[in-house]
Chain A
Amino acid sequence: MVVQYLLGNEAIAHGCLEAAVDVACGYPGTPSSEVIDTLRMDPDRACKVEWSVNEKVAFEEALAVSWCGLRAICTMKHVGLNVAADPLMTSAYTGTKGGFVIMSADDPYAHSSQNEQDSRCYAKFARIPCLDPSTLQEAHDMVRDAFALSEEFSLPVMFRPTTRICHSKSDVNLGDVVVSERTASFEKNARQYVVIPAHTRILHQKLNKKQHALKKRLVELGYNRYEVKGKKAVICGGVGASYVREVIGPDVSVAIIGAYPIDEDWLREFISHHKEVMVIEELSPVIEEVARQVSGTIPVFGKMTGHVPYEGELAPDRVAGYLKAAGFAVSVTYQPAATPAALPVRPPILCAGCMHRTAMYAMKKVFRDAIFPSDIGCYTLGIQLGTVDTTICMGASITVASGMSLAGEKRDIVCTIGDSTFLHTGIQGLINAIYNGANITVVILDNRITAMTGHQPNPTTGLTACGVATPAVSIEAICRASGATFVETVSPNDLVTFIDVLKAAKALPGVKVIIARQPCVISEKRSRVVRGRYTVYQDRCIGCKACIKFGCPAIELKGGLASITDLCSGCGVCVQICPVGAIGREVKE
């Protein structure tokens, strides 16, 4: 055993290796991405690792691996599970053979997400077990043990850490890595794997019959545990349990829920020792609903009584406040904090030299009054440039654009989507738009990498997750094969040509596709591409702020004149924007 200071996702990846996982696949999504990233970067890795094009694909592959008797994990974030929801519901019916773990990372407070949904509800919906760690050590131990649990019940097991587990760090006790000796072998059994109605009705009964034993087993395994200390009790789960343990008074009983479904008899027994109960959990009232079912006349405080909010994330001081307001003793008193200073906010911003800024700047120039549906990626930050009017979920920019066209919207509709997102779920939208005769311009922002989540390779990169060279997908060929006749590829850094192509697209009816291709500046920096820097000739600058309005973080205003900082990555676009020729390449003396 060895103690290491690790990120939650690194600890989870190590737990998989200790379980001798055979296959790990997933689609990147903050906060889940580093599990696959850790495995793929591990030079000693014995398991197979892949980035899949979307979560449904990752899920179905991992399920098939499990059907062949091997251990598999598929990783995604909560909204990714929506994409994989179709196979999820039926995989509970077919069951599994080798251990199958679905990691769905939730994001209370939506630190980097479009919503705050609770994956525990999906586990309940599908009737599969869900493990919900409260510390990093537990996250490590639970994911390791989840494979065995899956094999014991022949069920997929959901593993659901949250942002403050995935992206927090702690000293973690690690066990030894175990190398798998399993070999894949699929045994045909149509009654289990072909879900025609006659089979599925029986499979549903089998699934339901597993539930009772499962609940008992989760208590036996120690995931759900309690300590009776007084007449008041707190029931908590997830990382919220850590906050409760930090602030709770000495005479208050605590039950920690680490696994679902909860055994009602066990929880009823715990609650019966108390006069009042409070439930502390993030997002949906999953524990609270069960507590209410079994509490009889004992009052239960929580979300449904307005003592705990449904939205946002918990923190020690907030938990202490909720407990005190409901009359529960706490051991820590927090002084009210000083008011935060009023300062200009510093939101995340597109990098200096990022092609998304240039592409969107040009779009705004050519299509002034257009509607700009967009998608999920770094380019969502284009909201600061006025070229992101809608963002729903992966792949929804082209479909939203074609929907607006279908509605009869008279303005130009120009949508943006990244390369990874186009391959994820954008393709179907493009096929549909062309098939049904939409009038839209589609700008595919192709920077050859999945940049936002930490530069994971995708099928446009020409490399697999493990760095093996592979044919790069041709987005042009996909678009043409879908029936698009206007397909132009151009680098937005060549601003003049890019604007000309946008103008040509504007003049034509139908679906026009522009592939804006320029590698991500961070990827370029890592592969040591050096393009030099640019500088402002102070004697020529007239302080018109045309370059400032471009919004590049490398351009500052000093004493009314522009100046370029050492953040400059040398894209040279500002040279093309300056009306008086005051910007040029820096010459080293």
Chain B
Amino acid sequence: MSFDVMIVGIGGQGTILTSNILGKACVIEGIPVRGAETHGMAQRGGSVESQIRIGQEFGPLIAPGSADMLLSFDLMEAVRAAHWLKPEGTIYTSREFVIPTSVFMQDFPAPTEQMLREMLGDRPAKIIDSRALAEEAGNILTQNIVMLGAASPMLPLKKESLQEAIRRTVPPKTIDLNLKAFEMGIDAGKN
């Protein structure tokens, strides 16, 4: 059995970086880990996903309906991926969402925040204003770390290992910034 995390977002939001932090934290703790991720052209502004299986020694793929956690950097992508969760699984998602360009081009009705919140259903969900928090931490590019912080108490990994994995993963100049974003995320997740 493994603790399976589905990380979703839009290409460029840092899903791979976030999954690398989780993977490195597993190596620090000596836990086997498997992950699968979206590469190549599919990342050009498209929906992307990283599957991380903490404590898994076999394959990298999670089955739909069986993920323990959904970590999302876009509210619309959280709704799109919610069916990967098991019924009692938890959602951590950013409040912001980007409307796909095709919606504007083809004059389709655009979903609203209210609609998306309702579509998440009655699963336990933490919806976090990660953009505001990341800005407060010093850079809007740290939204993924804010979200990771918010979700971290539910992960079967020690806070210290995650902090060390952040240090080993992000660009050296941004370590303090990212560790601050991580702490702010933990606080936001509690409320």
Contacts and interface: CB of A to CB of B under 8 A. Distances in A.
Partners in one complex: yes
Interface of A: 3-5, 30-31, 111-112, 135, 164, 167-171, 239, 242-243, 245-246, 315-317, 334-341, 343-351, 378, 380-381, 384, 452-454, 545, 548-549, 551-553, 555-557
Contact of B60 (A164, A338, A341): A164
Residue of A384, A545, A553 contacting most chain B CB atoms (<10 Å): A553
* Chain A, interface SS category: loop
B65 A338 contact: yes
B14 interface: no
Given A348-B45, A548-B104, A552-B101, 11 more contacts: A30-B39, A112-B39, A135-B58, A167-B38, A169-B35, A246-B58, A316-B61, A345-B100, A346-B46, A553-B45, A553-B101
Interface stretch (B19-27, B143-151, B152-160, B178-186): B19-27
A243 B61 contact: yes
Contacts of A164: 36, 59-61
Given A242-B59, A245-B58, A348-B11, A551 B34 contact: no
A329 B45 CA distance: 42
Contacts of B79: 341, 343
Given A169-B34, A338-B83, A349 B101 contact: yes
B44 A341 contact: no
Contacts, number: 167
B36 A168 contact: yes
A548 B105 contact: yes
A385 to B, nearest CB: 10
Interface residues on B, range: 35 or more
A517 B45 CA distance: 23
A470 to B, nearest CB: 26
A317 B44 contact: no
A344 B119 CA distance: 14
B33 A170 contact: yes
Contacts of B37: 167-169
15 contacts: A30-B40, A168-B34, A168-B60, A171-B33, A242-B60, A243-B61, A246-B58, A335-B65, A335-B86, A337-B65, A340-B83, A341-B82, A345-B47, A345-B100, A346-B45
A171 B19 CA distance: 13
A337 B4 CA distance: 15
B44 A171 contact: no
A9 to B, nearest CB: 9
A351 B65 contact: no
